[in-house]
Amino acid sequence: MSTCPVNGLSFRENVDHMVESAMRILGVSETLGEAIKACRSVLQVKFPVKLRGQVKVFTGWRAIHSEHLLPTKGGLRFAPIVSQDEVEALAALMTYKCALADVPFGGSKGGLLIDPREYDDDEIRTIVARFTLNLAKKGFLDPATSVPAPDMGTGEREMAWIAETYKQLYPQDINSNACVTGKPLDHGGIAGRTEATGRGIQYAIQEFFRHPDDVAEAGLSDGLSSQRVVIQGLGNVGYHAAKFLSEIDNAMVIGVIVSSGAVVNLDGLDIEALHQYHREHRSLRGFPGGTFVDDSEQVLEMECDILILAALEAQIHGGNAVRIRAKLIVEGANGPVTCQGEKILMDKGSVILPDIYVNSGGVVVSYFEWTKNLSHMRYGRLQRRYEATRAMHQLTALESLTGQQVPEWMRSEIVQGASELDLVRSGLDDTMREAYRQIREVMVESEEIDDMRTAAYVIAIDKIARWYRIQGIS
Ligand code: GLU
């Protein structure tokens, strides 16, 4: 593992710190290192919007970290605390995330300084349209060069408004739908995008549990179904991760933390009921299926097997890491463990599944959506019936040759052609397994690398460095 400076680092310095460690291991020259780390361009916009009879000036950013592959890709964050530094750090993270997952995009990120809860739907729509106009007119939004997606505080409805505004601005652009991903299905989106980041977390954890050595290294035993899970965050990412892990893998989610408190049930929480309750009451207090705890730190630090961090950055740091008792820490959010926090966790023997691997599900499925938009056709549309008919003929042939009947449940499974959702999930699962395989390979081969984050950065930087070297920058 890389060493960590004693003084606290900003989010951006944390990312740079990891990148520099990977570069040292790879022997990347200082010049090439600078070229890779540099944020190519940042746009800051300030635009006035008249709301409720008053003019309010909003501030937003779009940072393009790396254009070595185009388009550049990354979410748009709407939050009351966004800064240029944060947006640049997140854009850099997108570059490395895409490289690791073999998504052929550069990294970018955007942010708008706003508390979305202070505005009604029509107002948000107006604000989104104005932000979109500013980004598009200044060359920071289009299908070929810079393609946003949902992030904290934004979702498919904002993405639909962005696509609509862009289309009005450039009606002659036949690929206009590809200017943004994470759109609703009926606005050019793709099946499985909303669940994608949570689904990716599930696939990453499933893959981890396919490797008994890795499981033992974390001090865990048995399969995923015997693990007790605590999740921080019940937004789109945390909710889907919790839902899939509890409903499909039968893991027991014993604690869920949100910004206003936490809820605990050592016999397992009903995630669907909890999510419903949280949507209705905007709080977990009073949820009948568990005990409410005011002090969320207490739940973050409770004994469990897997702790999934799916909320904000810097949640585990030098001040609280020593009290964290989870054996496997899963970074569903971007940058939830600081460099100092990581050092303490690793000294205690915890294993961390790093953000650049774990939360790449969103951008992976965004890639599928972007290619779908460019092809103007739903995945599986051409082959689904063909595959189903073919499978039916094969079954009939098998039955007539053997004289035996395939059970009905098996028949209906086999003769189904793949839907778009099946294909998206299959592509995401494959990506998560392949990235894990690469991370493992690096850890086995290198004596110097003993943590997954460093291994993941080494893989990402190596791929990007090779691109630059071919372009004569070394
Ligand atoms: N906001 C997501 C992320 O941080 C998704 C980005 C995308 O789909 O482009 O990875």
* pLDDT of res. 13: 87
Q: Evaluate if residue 253 carries a pLDDT over 80.
A: yes
The amino acid present at 83, given as its one-letter code, is S
* 86 vs 152: CA distance, rounded Å: 13
CA atoms within 13 A on the CB side of 127: 26
* pLDDT of res. 9: 76
Split at pLDDT 50, 70, 90, the class of 5 is: low
* pLDDT of res. 6: 52
Split at pLDDT 50, 70, 90, the class of 4 is: low
Per-residue pLDDT tens digits for 330-374: 999 999 999 999 999 999 999 999 999 999 999 999 999 999 999
Atom of ligand 1 nearest to the CA of 366: 8
Output the residue whose Cα is nearest ligand 1's atom 9. Answer: 74
* 346 vs 340: CA distance, rounded Å: 10
Helix, strand, or coil here: 351?
A: strand
Distance 349 CA to ligand 1 centre (A): 30
* 181 vs 363: CA distance, rounded Å: 9
Domains, the chain: 1-38+192-383+418-474 (3.40.50.720), 39-187 (3.40.50.10860)
Average per-residue pLDDT for the chain: 96
* pLDDT of res. 179: 98
Strand partners, 352: 329
Q: Evaluate if residue 145 carries a pLDDT over 90.
A: yes
Question: Mean per-residue pLDDT for 178-189?
Answer: 98
- 222 φ/ψ sector (left φ>0, alpha ψ -120 to 50, else beta): left
Atom of ligand 1 nearest to the CA of 75: 1
First and final C-alpha spacing in the chain? 26
The question of whether 109 is a catalytic residue gets the answer yes
Output the residue whose Cα is nearest ligand 1's atom 4. Answer: 75
Marked catalytic residue, from 73, 97, 109, 372: 109
Per-residue pLDDT tens digits for 23-52: 999 999 999 999 999 999 999 999 999 999
* pLDDT of res. 12: 85
Q: Evaluate if residue 384 carries a pLDDT over 70.
A: yes
Per-residue pLDDT tens digits for 295-328: 999 999 999 999 999 999 999 999 999 999 999 9
CA nearest 359: which of 139, 156, 167, 152? 152
Contact 300, 315 (CB under 8 A): yes
User: 351-354 long-range CB contacts below 8 Å, 24 or more apart?
Assistant: 351/214, 351/217, 351/218, 351/327, 351/452, 352/328, 352/451, 352/452, 352/453, 353/204, 353/205, 353/208, 353/328, 353/329, 353/452, 354/452, 354/453, 354/456
Residues with CB under 6 A from ligand 1: 73-75, 149, 151, 181, 334, 359, 362-363, 366
pTM: 0.96
Output the residue whose Cα is nearest ligand 1's atom 2. Answer: 75
């904002």: which residue's tokens?
158
Question: Mean per-residue pLDDT for 96-102?
Answer: 98
Per-residue pLDDT tens digits for 404-459: 999 999 999 899 999 999 999 999 999 999 999 999 999 999 999 999 999 999 99
